[in-house]
Amino acid sequence: MPTVLRVGRYRFFFFSNEGNEPPHIHVKASGDEAKFWLDPVQLAANYGFNTREINEIERLVDEHREVLLEAWHEHLG
């Protein structure tokens, strides 16, 4: 599970065996995790983050979208 980015307590990563899904990123902090689609940026799943945190993570995903998409395509082809 390659880590693509770290911002504060958030770790942005994807799993190597997820090539059959559209580009997305997983975000983890402590025991909480979320999944965001990258094109367009949209919350796909949330396991524990509160609304304020989800809004902040979505802003970060949008801000770093190009880097995240590039890493997705580089790793998963």
The residue ranges of every structural domain in the chain are 3-76
CA distances from 59 to 8, 9, 38, 52, 54 (A): 13, 15, 12, 11, 8
CA 72 to chain CA centroid, nearest Å:
10
15-58 tens-digit pLDDT:
888 768 999 999 999 999 999 999 999 999 999 999 999 999 99
- Rounded to an integer, the average pLDDT of 9-19 is 88
Question: CA-based angle 20:23:27, to the nearest 5?
Answer: 115
Q: Which residues contact 30 (CB under 8 A, 6 or more apart)?
A: 9
Separation of alpha carbons 48 and 1, rounded Å: 20
